[in-house]
Amino acid sequence: MTRPVSRPLILVSNDDGVRAPGLRVLADIAAEFADVVVCAPTEERSGFSHAISLRASLRSEAAPEFGRGWYAVSGTPVDCVYLGALHLCDRLPDLVLSGINPGYNLGADVFYSGTVGAAREGLIRGCPALAVSVDAGAKPELAAPFVRLLIPMLLERGAAGERHLLNLNVPGHGPDGGPVRGPRVARLGQRRYVERVDRREDPMGRSYFWIGGPPSLAGDESELEDTGAVLAGYAALTPLELDITAPEIDEWSRALADHAGTTKTP
């Protein structure tokens, strides 16, 4: 006889590693609503996007020093969710949480972020998912009230057959240093970075490089976008989806047909 499922099941992961403070905060919040399995990288894997280990073996070890149901995996954030959802959990999770990342994942960051990548893998596995980030230097606990608001909403919608991927970014403070407002639903904005390639030489005279520069928020972003919302002191909530097909698909179809009709065959 099958034992009835009494509580939802939440899988928690991140890209900062199993020892990251934000992971503990997120797992503790999740435990208020559901049974929890934590599956996180053995070390920091920031910027791994949606990388998956197809040509390398993975090792998973229980990590009871962090809590019951905690596992450390040798691979990427996506590996953790894949292995967690399909093997370490006794059934498909009702929700996947990723974070809490110490630093925003705004705009095009979602294409680089391991935090968002882990949540996106949850959606691919058929689970609702939430990626959570806070401003660099802010305590992960700052995201707690917003996560507590969103978890039951995602669980309820997931039980009704809906599958959503949400990206939450929480600023360090609200306007004039006051409390953070929101959450405000916002589109992806355009986050600016100092573009830099730093060429150096090792003691053997061989070149090596550091790429990328610090992010910046210029101050002229719209509050309808995630970049502007956090700048205005709102927790920005952005619904994401797997289909990144551009809206110009029909335009390109017509343009290709027109071009083919005017091109002479040699």
Q: Which residue has the tokens 């040509």?
A: 55
Query: Does residue 263 register a pLDDT over 80?
Result: no
Section 30-59 average pLDDT: 95
Q: What is the pLDDT of residues 204-252, one digit of tens each?
A: 999 988 887 777 766 667 889 999 999 999 999 999 999 999 999 999 9
Kindly list the domain boundaries of the chain, sorted by start residue. Answer: 9-189+219-262
pLDDT at 1: 43
pLDDT at 96: 98
Q: What are the C-alpha distances in Å from 101 to residues 7, 130, 212, 224, 256? A: 26, 12, 19, 22, 43
Q: What is the pLDDT of residues 85-103, one digit of tens each?
A: 999 999 999 999 999 999 9
Which H or E element spans position 80? helix 77-83
Rounded to two decimals, what is the model's pTM?
0.91
Q: From 3.40.50.300, 3.30.70.1400, 1.10.10.10, 3.40.1210.10, which CATH number describes the 9-189+219-262 domain?
A: 3.40.1210.10
Q: What is the pLDDT of residues 14-24, one digit of tens each?
A: 999 999 999 99
Rg of the chain over Cα atoms, rounded to whole angstroms, equals 21
| Angle of the 21-31 helix axis to the 144-159 helix axis, nearest 10 | 50
Backbone angles phi, psi at 186, to 5 degrees: -145, 150
Establish whether the linkage from the previous residue to 100 is cis, with ω within 30° of 0: yes
Q: What is the pLDDT of residues 118-134, one digit of tens each?
A: 999 999 999 999 999 99
| 192-193/197-201 β-pairing | unpaired
Q: Is the dihedral of CA 68, 60, 155, 132 positive or negative?
A: positive
pLDDT at 266: 54
pLDDT at 222: 87
By three-state DSSP, how is residue 49 classified? coil
